[in-house]
């Protein structure tokens, strides 16, 4: 068993999960990850500015790919946050999940006010019949990866750096909704994406080369994140994607967008013609990145 939020399911997490799976096989048992939804900070910190790397469904799919046997998702509430570390161990880890070995990161805390620590677990282990293994600080530092570093990279538009830390390209999903048809009038029809999860991190404004999954089929495209400064004075953020070699209606469909590279900053243009000229250059640059 291991427990944590696992936002991003990045290479640092995978080190812990690999150790978990290996230990489970040695014990001839099953590997289990216990995680929480919603993210504890969203529940406990009012007006938090936290942005998440994964929506719940994304996290489930990523954890499934790791080969872990079981995933337990605990509904995180303010009431649950008041559970003491001893009750958490006894009632959940032991009574419900029959934990035989617990693997945790070196700085892991749990229970009310984060009172539980590796020291507490070492005391609880003999009482309830389970072993505890702590991932050494040197092993975690060698990987040198954290969800915070990945968020910072994406907020700076460094999607390639984020992909190296994650072990996969960052992705975003959303429903196609009616837009203002500006792209279509310019010869670059775009699908206007509504990201339903307000806590999902949207990378820095700009133009990106992307891959887009539509009904299981992958297309190349270019995506703009911004406020459409040449046309729009509302200052509302939009996410719009132009799919290459695609002409069908997308309204109401959910698209999965995979970020490959950031092409340029968002700009204000003097005229529609100037914008079209730039979009043609963007298309060429995106195709090069996606080859």
Give the CATH number for residue 178: 2.40.30.30
* 224-263 pLDDT per residue, tens: 999 876 666 556 889 999 999 998 889 999 999 999 999 9
- Residue 18 is assigned to a structural domain of this protein: yes
- Residue 245 is assigned to a structural domain of this protein: yes
199, 245: one domain: yes
128, 15: one domain: yes
pLDDT of residue 188: 86
Structural domains counted in the chain: 2
22, 71: one domain: yes
- Residue 36 is assigned to a structural domain of this protein: yes
- Residue 156 is assigned to a structural domain of this protein: no
- Range with top average pLDDT, 100-104, 203-207, 237-241: 203-207
136, 243: one domain: no
Q: Which domain holds residue 258?
A: 169-290
- Residue 93 is assigned to a structural domain of this protein: yes
240 as an active site residue: the answer is yes
Q: Identify the domain boundary among 145, 161, 189.
A: 145
Query: Does 162 score more than 70 pLDDT?
Result: yes
Sequence-distant (≥ 6) Cβ neighbours of residue 245 within 8 angstroms: 219, 220
Query: Does 117 score more than 80 pLDDT?
Result: no
Task: Report how far residue 107's alpha carbon sits from residue 135's, in angstroms, rounded to the nearest whole number.
Answer: 9
178, 259: one domain: yes
Annotated catalytic residue, options 55, 240, 261, 283: 240
75, 193: one domain: no
Lowest mean pLDDT among 84-93, 140-149, 165-174, 189-198: 140-149
- Residue 153 is assigned to a structural domain of this protein: no
Q: Identify the domain boundary among 112, 145, 178.
A: 145
223, 95: one domain: no
141, 176: one domain: no
Q: What is the pTM of this model?
A: 0.89
Sequence-distant (≥ 6) Cβ neighbours of residue 99 within 8 angstroms: 1, 32, 93, 130
Q: How many CB atoms lie within 10 A of CB 63?
A: 21
- Residue 188 is assigned to a structural domain of this protein: yes
* 120-150 pLDDT per residue, tens: 788 889 999 999 888 765 455 555 788 999 9
Task: Report how far residue 277's alpha carbon sits from residue 266's, in angstroms, rounded to the nearest whole number.
Answer: 14
9, 107: one domain: yes
64, 198: one domain: no
241, 196: one domain: yes
Phi, psi torsion values for 104, nearest 5 degrees: -135, 160
- Residue 26 is assigned to a structural domain of this protein: yes
21, 111: one domain: yes
CA angle 132–31–123, rounded 5-degree value: 15
SS3 content of the chain, % helix, strand, coil (to 5): 35, 25, 40
Give the CATH number for residue 51: 3.40.50.620
């Amino acid at each position: 068993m291991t427990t944590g939020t696992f936002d991003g399911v990045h290479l640092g997490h995978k080190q812990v999960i690999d150790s978990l799976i290996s230990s489970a096989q040695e014990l001839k048992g099953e590997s289990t990850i216990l995680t929480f939804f919603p993210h504890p900070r969203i529940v406990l910190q009012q007006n938090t500015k936290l942005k998440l790397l994964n929506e719940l469904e994304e996290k489930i799919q990523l954890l499934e790919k790791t080969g872990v046997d079981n995933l337990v998702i605990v509904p995180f509430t303010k009431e649950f946050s008041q559970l003491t570390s001893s009750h958490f161990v006894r009632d959940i880890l032991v009574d419900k999940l029959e934990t035989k070995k617990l693997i945790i990161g070196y700085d892991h805390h749990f229970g009310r006010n984060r009172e539980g620590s590796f020291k507490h677990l070492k005391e609880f282990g003999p009482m309830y019949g389970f072993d505890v293994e702590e991932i050494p600080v040197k092993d975690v530092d060698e990987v040198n990866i954290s969800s915070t570093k990945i968020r910072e990279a994406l907020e700076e538009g460094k999607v390639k750096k984020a992909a190296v830390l994650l072990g996969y390209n960052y992705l975003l999903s959303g429903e196609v909704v009616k837009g203002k048809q500006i792209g279509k009038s310019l010869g670059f029809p775009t699908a206007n994406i509504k990201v339903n999860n307000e806590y999902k991190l949207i990378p820095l404004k700009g133009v990106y080369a992307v891959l887009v999954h539509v009904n299981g089929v992958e297309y190349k495209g270019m995506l703009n994140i911004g406020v459409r400064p040449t046309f729009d004075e509302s200052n509302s953020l939009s996410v719009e994607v132009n799919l290459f070699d695609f002409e069908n209606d997308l309204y109401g469909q959910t698209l999965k967008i995979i970020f490959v590279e950031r092409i340029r900053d968002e700009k204000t243009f003097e005229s529609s013609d100037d914008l079209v000229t730039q979009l043609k250059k963007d298309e060429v640059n995106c195709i090069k990145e996606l080859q």
